[in-house]
A = this chain, B = another copy of it.
Amino acid sequence: MSDDTKRLDPEKSFHMTPDEFRRWGHQTVDWIAGYMERVGDLPVRSQVAPGEIRARLPASPPQQGESFDVMLRDVDEHLLDGITHWQSPDFFAYFPANASGPSILGELLSAGLGVQGMLWATSPACTELETLVMDWLVEMLGLPQTFLSTSTGGGVIQDTASSAALCALIAARERTTGFLTDKRGCQQDSEGQGTLVAYTSTQAHSSIEKAVRIAGLGQQNLRLIEVDENYAMRPAALEAAIRRDRQAGRRPCFVSATIGTTSSHGLDPIGTIGEICRHLGVWLHVDAAMAGTAALCPEHRKMHDGLELADSYCFNPHKWMFTNFDCDAFWVADRGALIKALSVLPEYLRNEATESGAVLDYRDWQIPLGRRFRALKLWFVIRHYGVAGLRHHVRQHIGLARRFAGWVAQSEDFELAAPVPLNLVCFRHLGGDAFNQRLLDLLNNSGDLYLTHTKLGGLLTLRLSIGQTHTTAEHVQRAWRNIESTAKAMAKDLKPCE
């Protein structure tokens, strides 16, 4: 035994007592409340260089325990400079990952309870609340009735839309091969089976390609279907591609359509795509990770037309529904295929409830075995805001995006790069790629706001995504003034050189 043991009192506990937890817990809550108050004043994008944060911290772990206040102080003094503030009202980058008080407290309570939800039996409330809340969301978003747990399908919380897509792909792969791939692998085409093929649009999220690679289909067997002028998948091109593959003896197994693409919020036409998939027997997954939240508002449900033809669907409450990451809501129309594809039951997990068939075991609905009690935060968010409150904020964000789009459209120096169906505005300065890149860098380096970019039609395009919890009209107006004035100053500086 090493020296430290000899010096230790064998009865001594190093655990934080409930009283200490109260004290430091209150202090952590106060720290977060203070952070909420000041986050708008901090530079949105961290301005540190690679390695800078690590260099400030001890290279080795402490042998003896330290006090909690020292740790909180280090967060302030050392970590905060390395934080890009996703919760800043001036955060317009990527897609939002908006959080809220009730969600954060739901996460806290989940950590405090510390239960495992892998089986119904390992904590029944964890499973039953999740099933209930997922059924609530079917009602709240007007999703197909087959997605209800009381029907043939059901919902489950995944960490991300990436994992949801992978689960959907595995279920699709297995359904297509009569559940033989799980047994024999994708590699058995020497037995005369055709190569498995998947389809998505050129605008789909990178997670689809990642899933196709992970699942053993291979990147070259993912067809990237062309899009129309609004960046929506062309159904005729999809149908032609599927037919070509079938004629060549390959096995089309999976189509992933997107509602609200990452680059530009393109809306694939689900109804037409769904009919093609039904007709040709291909699994249709619909990824509405960002845009799905808009379906809280009946006036934005048109994008879901035809969703009853989909085999699976997901959207991320952790993007635009005030629920801190991670929380992806994933449904299937036929839970049997998913469960059969992902279930393995070793002796040490056998239990009476599972064998009775009367319960759902969510471990069979996901990649990992273990799972947190994530339904708590979603339940808190929905109850705190109410459906009316959630709708209100979603409408506010969409309204702000439209106002911003209006300013862009009226500007002589800028143009819109894509339609603005919801809360993402894609735009660019007319000065060309180098100008837009420089403009983006200047804005982000200022710390006043944070935008990211994409390429549309081969041109560098700025993306302004509105969905941060505390973003108001004032922040969006200030962002536009800042973008306009920075561009004007740049143009002025450039003139003498031209």
The 9 listed contacts between A and B (C-beta, < 8 Å) are A50-B359, A61-B383, A83-B125, A83-B126, A183-B220, A186-B218, A187-B187, A210-B344, A326-B370
Majority SS of interface residues in chain A?
helix
- How far apart sit A421 and B84, CA to CA, in the bound complex (Å)? 45
Nearest-neighbor residue (CB-CB) of A98 within chain B? B114
Interface centre among A63, A111, A393 (most CB of B within 10 A): A111
- The tally of residues in A whose CB lies under 8 Å from a CB in B reads 176
Contact of A86 with B116 at beta-carbon distance under 8 Å, contacts A18-B36, A50-B356 already known = yes
A32 and B109 contacting across the interface, CB-CB below 8 Å: yes
Q: Is A104 an interface residue (CB 8 A)?
A: yes
- How far apart sit A113 and B84, CA to CA, in the bound complex (Å)? 9
A18 and B4 contacting across the interface, CB-CB below 8 Å: no
Stretch of A189-197, A306-314, A406-414, A488-496 contacting B (4+ beta carbons < 8 Å): A189-197
Q: Is A227 an interface residue (CB 8 A)?
A: no
A57 and B262 contacting across the interface, CB-CB below 8 Å: no
Q: Is A279 an interface residue (CB 8 A)?
A: no
A105 and B25 contacting across the interface, CB-CB below 8 Å: yes
Q: Is A402 an interface residue (CB 8 A)?
A: no
**Residues of B with C-beta under 8 A to A387:** 4, 61-63
- How far apart sit A57 and B130, CA to CA, in the bound complex (Å)? 12
**Residues of B with C-beta under 8 A to A386:** 14, 61-66
The 0/1 profile, CB within 8 Å of B marked 1, for residues 98-114 of chain A is 11111111011101111
A115 and B358 contacting across the interface, CB-CB below 8 Å: no
Stretch of A233-241, A269-277, A448-456 contacting B (4+ beta carbons < 8 Å): A448-456
Q: A54-B131, A367-B367 are in contact. List 19 more A-B contacts (CB 8 A).
A: A2-B299, A10-B396, A12-B392, A13-B393, A14-B390, A16-B100, A18-B36, A24-B102, A25-B32, A57-B132, A61-B140, A63-B388, A87-B114, A184-B219, A185-B196, A185-B216, A190-B190, A263-B348, A326-B372
Q: Is A20 an interface residue (CB 8 A)?
A: yes
**Residues of B with C-beta under 8 A to A454:** 347-348
Nearest-neighbor residue (CB-CB) of A184 within chain B? B218
- How far apart sit A28 and B470, CA to CA, in the bound complex (Å)? 23
Quick one: which of B8, B22, B221 contacts A30, CB cutoff 8 A?
B22
